[in-house]
Amino acid sequence: MLIKICGITTPEMARKVAASGVDYIGLLFTKHSPRQIDLATAKQICEVVKDYDTQVVGVFFDESQEQIQAIDAALSLDVIQLHGDAPRAAIANFTHKPIIYVADGKALPAELNPAKDFILYEKITPDSTIPFRYFIAGGIDKDNVLARIAEANPAGVDLSSGVEITRGVKDYGKIREFLALVKPTYYGAFGGMYVPELLIEPLHDLTKAYHEIALGNEFQAEFINLLKNYVGRPTALTEVKNFAKAIGLKHVYLKREDLTHTGAHKINNALGQCLLAKKMGKTRIIAETGAGQHGVATATACAMLGLECKVYMGDVDVKRQAPNVAKMRLLGAEVISVTDGSATLKDAVNEALRDWASSYETTHYCLGTALGPYPFPQICARFQSVIGNEAKAQFAEQTGSKPDLVIACVGGGSNAIGVFQAFIPDEEIKLVGVEAGGYGTGVGENAARFQSGRLGVLHGNRTYVLQTQDGQIADTHSVSAGLDYAAVGPQHSDLFATGRASYDVASDQEALHAFQLLTSSEGIIPALESSHALAYLIRIAKDLPSDCKVLVNLSGRGDKDLPGLLERGLIHVAH
């Protein structure tokens, strides 16, 4: 479904809607409209949207052929929209560009080309027999848009007053609300369901079960009870005064996901998905894992719920996360070592998807992070949102205020999206995701998707992906297995594109330093993944006000990392 927002009047609004994945923005030049803009503003708008996929439409009501041509020459419009009698009469002069032609019930002009042009229906019923794609417009808002789409079956919708605060002033919140309704499989421009046809049916079944079962009161009550009495929630919010003093700050708090049963945030999502799978009648669970924490969490949930479990894990990760491999096998899971490709998380996901494609009738794929095809990112974000909801309430209780800065490491992105969720609406709170900077900036030396990645599709969703020059998925590197992945969850891509969150990197060495500093100053051994978030805070602490209130999501504990770090000589223990 194509989305066109008509009557954009400011460069900032243009940038925000373009970043949100709107397909077209319409600029009005007629003096009879409250949405009229001048040529200078239009040039600014064209400049700010040029880096996005959004196309700029010049909308003309009463301008002469010469006026339209002059505006087009100044702006290099992508599309020309013709309304009134004079603009439509001049159609022959604009056939070199895509045209949106406003229908009036009369015969369509012969100059229109079905291969590139659209018809727009405002006040009359669409003619579905014509060979053109068409938009619908006029009185569309969030309350009627789905019914209008079902009735008219258009290629796109054209919105204006339905997403305004007052006449001529657009409401970004309403635009986002509209996008979520019309493109429910996406976060702005990111997400979707890019899978072989064989997987469409199980994804639709999962979507239906998620809405009808997982969001229901009975399921939620059972899930909350398990989080409390099995997982050990709520987890603590710990002020780390010694660590804060060591880096020159006064107020640093850790959300202690390391204190959950299994030692990381992964259990929140794994338990929720396995419980849902059991209620769907599935008897077998498959999962992928990098650091091993999701594998352990899934194996744990399966043992408790009486489900068969198979975990795919890259051979490199099997070797560097031996304690977690032993735990999974002790819990009754079959661990499959994947030797293809780089033998890390990407390759484990590939094998898990192949398995699911041939076994979905009895099997649920418990995807461990906030990416993949719809509805997986939404499901994971929902089950992990308990982190942020708890942290927000605990922070207010302990400090009487809210954090100034929330930081989390980002691999696929589940722990970060879990803690961010509660704070996204409050734009006074800065959100920062920290990726793996590895040991360099070259291809294969890091896992920094927002630093050097570009738009692509991997494992079922459109997002930022690390790629080679010819578009192949690049190898990645991180000292932490859980961040060693070429793509990132689509909601993070949306938060990055729209500017609501920022993303930085921490190198292997910075993470190792943070690992040792927190351990020695507070008696808390963090996971290497979480150490990246701490490392970023250490680096920027000198630039923050000393009384800045910081919340860091400590996504897991470092027991799993110790054997590998000691074996490779990356940390040293005093005798």
| Residues with a known catalytic role | 266, 288, 555
Residue whose token pair is 């579905």: 128
Kindly give the pairing relationship between strand 99-102 and strand 79-82: parallel
The SS3 call for residue 422 is coil
CA distance 235 to 537: 22
Of the candidates 453, 1, 377, the residue with the CA atom closest to the CA atom of residue 190: 377
Distance between CA atoms of residues 138 and 157, nearest Å? 9
Residues near 565 by Cβ (< 8 Å), separated by ≥ 6? 512, 528, 571
From residue 555, how far is each of 263, 291, 410, 496, 531 by CA, in Å?
Answer: 9, 12, 10, 21, 9
256: left (phi over 0), alpha (psi -120 to 50) or beta: beta
Q: For residue 193, what are its two tokens?
A: 């369901």
For residue 188, which of 465, 501, 490 has the smallest C-alpha distance? 490
72 alpha-carbon distance from chain centroid = 36
Q: How many Å apart are CA 197 and CA 203, to the nearest integer?
A: 10
Structure tokens at 344: 């890390």
Our CA angle for 304, 306, 309, nearest 5°, is 95
Strand bridging mode 186-187 / 190-191? antiparallel
- Burial class of 402 by CB neighbour count within 10 A (0 to 12, 13 to 18, 19+): middle
| CA distances in angstroms from 324 to 297, 302, 414, 480, listed in the order given | 10, 16, 19, 14
Which tokens sit at 574?
């005093």
Can you give the C-alpha Rg of the chain in angstroms?
26
Residue 366 and residue 326: Cα distance in Å, rounded? 20
5, 497, 405, 171 alpha-carbon torsion, rounded to 10°: 0
Which distant-in-sequence residues (6+ apart) come within 8 Å of 535 by Cβ?
Answer: 434, 506, 507, 510, 511, 513, 514
The residue written with tokens 């054997």 in the block is 563
Q: In degrees to the nearest 10, what's the CA dihedral of 316, 322, 327, 329?
A: 60
Please give the Cα distance from 573 to 516 (Å, whole number): 10
Strand pairing category for 363-365 and 169-170: unpaired
